[in-house]
Amino acid sequence: MLASYATFVGIVRSVLLYLAVAAAAVCAFDWAVRTRRINPFNRSARFFRGRIEPLMQPVERVIVRAGGVPTAAPWWTLVAVVVGGILLVSVLQLLGGVLTQVVFGLAEPRGLPMLVLSWAFSIVKFALLVRVLSTWLPVSPYSKWIRWSYVLTEWMIAPLRRVIPLVGMFDITPIIAWILLGLAQSVFGIP
């Protein structure tokens, strides 16, 4: 089962690579037509303007609203395709890792509580990371995308803030919380 999943991820990775190469060729040609490096009235340019440019209009609208130029739409589309492919492969690999852990956890029932504890520590560490990164961006802590990280980490950060003073204008309690989580993992023998 795990081998077939790994084969599936390999096939998806290969397909995404070929799609990215095709998208790069299409985006390069569309960019050349938009910037008039290729005659926009020849047959292939008319095909691209009729078939491909409508697909890039949502990207173009976002770029223009952000103050960019419409001729950059093909390159931003390529960036979106590549980043989307990387994210898809990363999510599939993450699911493969979770699937592997579940299979080994079910094969050795005594390891199941350790597996659940390992997942809990990983989730709290990820929430701590999201919480710290969100403070660097203009995002409200009450936003639906960030609130969950505050809910999962406030039980640990609030008591530390009462004990640990600010260092200049920096709050180092998330770093201390990360270190304490790592220590707790090593004490319990959780990977």
Does 172 lie in the same domain as 144?
Answer: yes
- The parts of the chain modelled with pLDDT lower than 70 are 191
Q: What residues make up the domain containing 166?
A: 111-191
Least Cα distance to 176 among 136, 123, 168, 184 occurs for 184
Residue 21 is predicted with a pLDDT of 93
The model's pTM: 0.63
Does 12 lie in the same domain as 42?
Answer: yes
Q: From CA 145, how far away is CA 136, in angstroms rounded?
A: 15
Other C-beta atoms closer than 10 Å to the C-beta of 89 total: 16
> Structural domain tally of the chain?
2
Does 131 lie in the same domain as 71?
Answer: no
Residue 147 is predicted with a pLDDT of 92
Residue 108 is predicted with a pLDDT of 79
Does 118 lie in the same domain as 96?
Answer: no
Among the candidates 88, 107, 126, a domain finishes at: 107
Residue 119 is predicted with a pLDDT of 86
Does 130 lie in the same domain as 42?
Answer: no
Does 40 lie in the same domain as 94?
Answer: yes
Does 136 lie in the same domain as 78?
Answer: no
Residue 68 is predicted with a pLDDT of 82
